[in-house]
Amino acid sequence: MRFLPGDLSLRGIAWISFVVGAHFFGLAAIWKQSLFLWLGSSMLLCGALGLVLAIAGSSTGAIDTVAGVLPGGLLLGFGLWSSKKSRIPVAVVPASL
C-alpha cells in the first residue's frame, strides 16, 4: 500500500531543493546575513512546490523546472548579485601548470 501517490524518484529533486533551502537559514543565523534568509526561503518554496507537483502527479518536466532549474537559477542569481554588491576585492591567482 502506497502512502503518497506519485513516483518516489520524481520527489527526490524536490526534496533536495527543500533541504538545501532549509540549510540557508542556519547560515543566515551564523553569518548574520539576511541574503541567506531570502535565498533559503526561495529555494525552500521551490522544493515545497516541487513536492506538491510530484504528489499531484505532474509531469517530470514541470517538477524538474520548479524544483531543479529554478533553484539553480536562484543560486546563480544570488551569487552574482552578492559578488557585485561586495566591496571586498577578490585577488585573481593564475593557475599553475
Whole-prediction pTM: 0.76
Encode pLDDT of 14-58 as tens digits: 999 999 999 999 999 998 988 899 999 999 999 999 999 988 888
Question: How many Cα atoms within 13 Å fall on the side-chain side of residue 40?
Answer: 14
pLDDT band of residue 3 (cuts 50, 70, 90) is: very low
Output DSSP code: residue 55.
Answer: H
Per the prediction, the chain carries an average pLDDT of 85
Residues 6 or more apart whose Cβ sits within 8 Å of residue 97: none
Q: What is the dihedral of CA 17, 70, 80, 44, to 10 degrees?
A: -40
Instruction: Quote the CA–CA distance of 65 and 58 in Å, as a whole number.
Output: 11
Q: 52 or 86: whose pLDDT is higher?
A: 52
